[in-house]
């Protein structure tokens, strides 16, 4: 498989995104995904799902969601670290989509409504983001520079 390269190669006339702006875009995508899922969940459906699941299953599913939220936070930290290097708009879109899917999946899983859709979105965001981050050439280059400094 070929490495993925999201290095920014755009004409000099277009302004480059600063790392802070790129990180803000990814965090906005995460918030939009979570917000859209939150809006789509009806409070009555969430209460009904909680009552139907019972306290033990609710604790189990929410515990799993909390663990995956920690994994998502670690992945998001890795993405934000990667965004310190220049990135193309396509690369930023991929990282933003993974973040949005993670946010939506976590909200749907936590509310216990639309569990299948929540699981698909959450895992798509986690695994998709992790795979793209691992295959990104800029990550390898930054790691190589860090190792050479030591």
pLDDT at residue 123 in the model: 96
Continuous H helices in the chain? 19-40, 43-82, 89-111, 115-135, 137-149
Helix, strand, or coil here: 4? Answer: strand
pLDDT at residue 31 in the model: 96
- Listed in sequence order, the residues at least 6 apart from 99 whose beta carbon sits closer than 8 Å to its beta carbon are 26, 27, 29, 30, 33, 76, 79, 125, 129
Tens of pLDDT, residue by residue over 26-72, are: 999 999 999 999 999 988 888 898 889 899 999 999 999 999 999 99
pLDDT at residue 82 in the model: 92
Give me the mean pLDDT over the 9-36 stretch.
83
pLDDT at residue 2 in the model: 54
> In this structure, are residues 114 and 60 in contact, taking their beta carbons and an 8 Å threshold?
no
For the CA atoms of the chain, what is the radius of gyration?
18
pLDDT at residue 100 in the model: 97
**In the predicted model, is pLDDT for residue 9 greater than 80?**
no
**In the predicted model, is pLDDT for residue 124 greater than 80?**
yes
Tens of pLDDT, residue by residue over 64-123, are: 999 999 999 999 999 999 998 888 888 899 999 999 999 999 999 999 989 999 999 999
């Amino acid at each position: 498989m070929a490495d993925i390269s999201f290095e920014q190669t755009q004409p000099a006339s277009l302004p480059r995104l600063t790392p802070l702006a790129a990180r803000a875009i990814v965090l906005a995508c995460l918030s939009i995904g979570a917000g859209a899922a939150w809006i789509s969940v009806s409070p009555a459906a969430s209460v009904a799902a909680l009552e139907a699941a019972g306290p033990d299953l609710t604790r189990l599913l929410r515990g799993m969601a909390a663990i995956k939220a920690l994994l998502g936070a670690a992945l998001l930290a890795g993405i934000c670290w990667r965004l310190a290097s220049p990135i193309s708009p396509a690369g930023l879109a991929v990282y933003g989509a993974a973040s949005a899917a993670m946010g939506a999946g976590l909200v749907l899983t936590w509310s216990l409504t639309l569990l299948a859709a929540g699981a698909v979105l959450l895992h798509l965001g986690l695994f998709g983001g992790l795979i793209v981050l691992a295959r990104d050439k800029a990550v390898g280059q930054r790691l190589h520079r860090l190792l050479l400094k030591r």
